[in-house]
Amino acid sequence: MSVVSAAPFLRPPCLRSPGPQGRRHTLPASEFRSLSPEDAISVFEIEREAFISVSGECPLHLDEVRHFLTLCPELSLGWFEEGRLVAFIIGSLWDRERLTLDALTLHKPHGTTVHVHVLAVHRTFRQQGKGSILMWRYLQYLRCLPCVRRAVLMCEEFLVPFYQKSGFKAQGPSEITVGPLTFIEMFYPVRGHAFMRRNSGC
């Protein structure tokens, strides 16, 4: 899957120091980019704190984070502030209408649905709207990927309004449960691929 055309969403222009002798090692104040296996520990630390403190369960364990960032890094998006990961999304491809237990661990390279496994924000940066901004950028990025037709996720009921604000629609209860936890499955139709490619720099 080519992501070259999606570069405008992933790598905004870096802010450089004025003058010809600007420091080349200066990190951009804010950067969005795909994650790599080298980011796995930072990802898992944020995820563990965000989810275990609320539900006692992590959507992805460390080995699963590495698994998806190795197989399909182009379906992840990290938000970095001065080189520090502050929020992220990890996704993979799926090839069915609804999620099943296999969707938690598998990446289906020929699928047309992106399964959003997890969105998490570092505790220091919560209540600042970063989760909504990151999801918006991610969904715009998905529009640049010609094979993607829809995005799906499952979440606890109290998170449904958050995802509805991003344009997701509820499909009803998920067949997946984790211990005592139950989930609502939601989907987002990724529309207008040709239009977006012509008009967004994709």
Among this protein's residues, is 15 annotated catalytic? no
Please, where are the H alpha helices in 143-187? 160-165
CA–CA distance, 104 with 92 (Å, rounded to integer): 9
Q: How many CB atoms lie within 10 A of CB 156?
A: 12
The tokens for 113 are 């649905």
CB distance 176 to 101 below 8 Å: yes
Among this protein's residues, is 17 annotated catalytic? no
Catalytic residue among 10, 119, 139, 145: 119
Catalytic residue among 42, 60, 99, 117: 117
Q: What one-character-per-residue DSSP string does 3-20 give?
A: -GGGHHHH-PPPP--SST
Among this protein's residues, is 106 annotated catalytic? yes
Catalytic residue among 35, 92, 93, 142: 92
Among this protein's residues, is 117 annotated catalytic? yes
Catalytic residue among 27, 71, 104, 106: 106
Catalytic residue among 141, 163, 174, 188: 163
| Catalytic residue positions, numbered | 92, 106, 117, 119, 163
